[in-house]
């Protein structure tokens, strides 16, 4: 859930004139009063230390964006020794796995500030890939500029449209012209390659290190608790992993039907409830209204064709498809639903990882 912290308070001059050329701006007012932007549940420096930028491991992970994108850092945190493959679009990352150029694709699927507006679940449903891992990344936005550029010389800021939206209050105070680009790392790459002295970019602190830029301000995001959930997808169908010590397993599935939306929802809830299976996510998509496109789902058990449905349920629950009670629940749901597809069973990672 989004943070309930009080509104951000900015100083009269967000960029004090006393700062010297190239000096990091100290903006304590970016942090909500009485509450740190870095929650105690954040795991620092990734799973196995700081994520590497250039991996040499055998696992290849495709991501959307340029080197230094948040998706790449999420991939490096989840698989520290992997080699990352930048792709122009999310669909290209999925295609890289389907064509054997990558072993995994990583997609952001929801965030505390946008919910599931990322809509990459739709891409997942259209392709025959399995969820094999999840990771939650704390998204910390910084204002980056070319080395030596003074804040007063800035005229515009570039970044991904979502990043610009997430930093709306700070950018309004700055009075910079906002220009959207394809991704945060792409904005940094554009800034550096074109030597733009009147332009800032919003990206991660790691991107600043990677591209040799100055960080003028930290914590531009409107909400202090800004977390994005990523899923790693694989073409290979594997058995559910063994339950690690102190961890649980999670399964994701989609239930599609054509009518009686509320009745189907109640039946799905009943199938899980009477077997004491805990749901961790439930999203209802109704696209039966005029002008709304239906949800397209690849029928992996049929002829591999796309099927259109007006009503879809996305469900995440605790447990794996190897458990008898889970099998019973899925069988019951399949008896009254038009279509049920398992998206994957994987380790439930409740940690939140930070780039700092």
From the candidates 63, 73, 90, 230, give the one annotated as an active-site residue. 230
Give the residue numbers spanning the domain of 213: 142-218
Q: Does residue 116 form part of some domain?
A: yes
Total of domains in the chain: 2
Verify that 272 and 338 share a domain, yes or no.
yes
Q: Indicate if 126 and 186 belong to the same structural domain.
A: no
Question: What's the pLDDT at 46?
Answer: 35
Instruction: Based on the fold, state whether residues 95 and 147 are members of the same structural domain.
Output: no
Contact 269, 336 (CB under 8 A): no
- 193 and 210 housed in the same domain: yes
pLDDT of residue 115 exceeding 70, the answer is: no
- Residues 77, 83, 84, 228: which is the catalytic one? 228
Phi-psi domain of 309 (left: phi exceeds 0; alpha: psi -120 through 50; beta: other): beta
In the residue annotation, 15 being an active-site residue is answered as no
Annotation says 73 is catalytic: no
Regarding whether 151 and 135 lie in a shared domain, the answer is no
In a domain, 285, yes or no: yes
Q: How far apart are CA 59 and CA 109, in angstroms?
A: 22
> Is 108 inside any structural domain?
yes
Assigned domain for 32 exists:
no
Residue 118 or residue 237, greater confidence: 237
Residue 87 pLDDT grade (very low, low, confident, very high; cuts 50, 70, 90): very high
**148 and 135 part of one domain:** no
Residues 345 and 248 reside in one and the same domain = yes
Is 315 found in the same domain as 238?
Answer: yes
288 with 268, same domain: the answer is yes
pLDDT-derived band at 248, boundaries 50, 70, 90? confident
The CATH number of residue 232's host domain is 3.40.190.10
Instruction: Round to whole Å and give the CA distance between 5 and 56.
Output: 42
pLDDT at residue 5, as a whole number: 29
236 and 344 share one domain: yes
Q: Same domain, yes or no, for 239 and 115?
A: yes
**Cα Rg of the chain, angstroms:** 22
Residue 44 in domain: no
For 43, residues 6+ apart whose C-beta sits below 8 A from its C-beta are 351, 352, 353, 354
Residues 146 and 135 in one domain: no
Question: Rounded to an integer, what distance in angstroms lies between the CA atom of residue 52 and that of residue 109?
Answer: 23
Cβ atoms of 314 and 141 within 8 Å: the answer is: no
- Residue-level pLDDT at 287: 76
């Amino acid at each position: 859930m989004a943070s309930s912290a009080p509104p951000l308070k900015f100083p009269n001059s967000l960029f004090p004139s006393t700062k010297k050329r190239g000096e990091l701006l100290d903006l304590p007012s970016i942090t909500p009063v009485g509450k740190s932007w870095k929650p105690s549940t954040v795991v620092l420096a990734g799973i196995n230390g700081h994520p590497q930028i250039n991996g040499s491991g055998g696992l290849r992970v495709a991501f959307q964006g340029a080197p230094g994108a948040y998706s790449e850092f999420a991939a490096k945190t989840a698989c520290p020794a992997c080699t990352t493959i930048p792709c122009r679009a999310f669909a290209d990352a999925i295609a890289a796995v389907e064509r054997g150029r990558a072993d995994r694709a990583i997609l952001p699927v929801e965030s505390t500030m946008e919910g599931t507006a990322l809509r990459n679940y739709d891409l997942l449903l259209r392709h025959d890939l399995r969820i094999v891992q999840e990771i939650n990344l704390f998204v910390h936005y910084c204002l980056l500029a070319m080395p030596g550029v003074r804040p007063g010389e800035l005229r515009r800021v570039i970044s991904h449209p979502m990043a610009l939206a997430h930093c709306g209050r700070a950018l309004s105070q700055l009075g910079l012209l906002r220009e959207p680009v394809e991704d945060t790392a792409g904005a940094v790459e554009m800034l550096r390659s074109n030597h733009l002295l009147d332009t800032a970019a919003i990206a991660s602190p790691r991107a600043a290190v990677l591209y040799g830029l100055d960080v003028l301000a930290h914590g531009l995001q409107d909400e202090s608790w800004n977390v994005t959930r990523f899923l790693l997808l694989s073409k290979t169908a594997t058995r559910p992993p063994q339950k690690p010590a102190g961890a649980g397993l999670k399964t994701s599935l989609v239930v599609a039907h054509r009518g009686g939306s509320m009745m189907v929802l109640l039946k799905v809830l009943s199938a899980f409830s009477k077997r004491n299976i805990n749901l961790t996510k439930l999203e209802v998509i109704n696209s039966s209204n005029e002008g709304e496109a239906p949800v397209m789902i690849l029928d992996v058990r049929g002829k591999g064709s796309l099927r259109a449905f007006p009503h879809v349920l996305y469900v995440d629950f605790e447990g794996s498809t190897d458990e008898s009670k889970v099998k019973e629940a899925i069988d019951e749901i399949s008896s009254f639903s038009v279509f049920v597809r398992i998206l994957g069973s994987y380790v439930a990672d409740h940690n939140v990882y930070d780039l700092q």
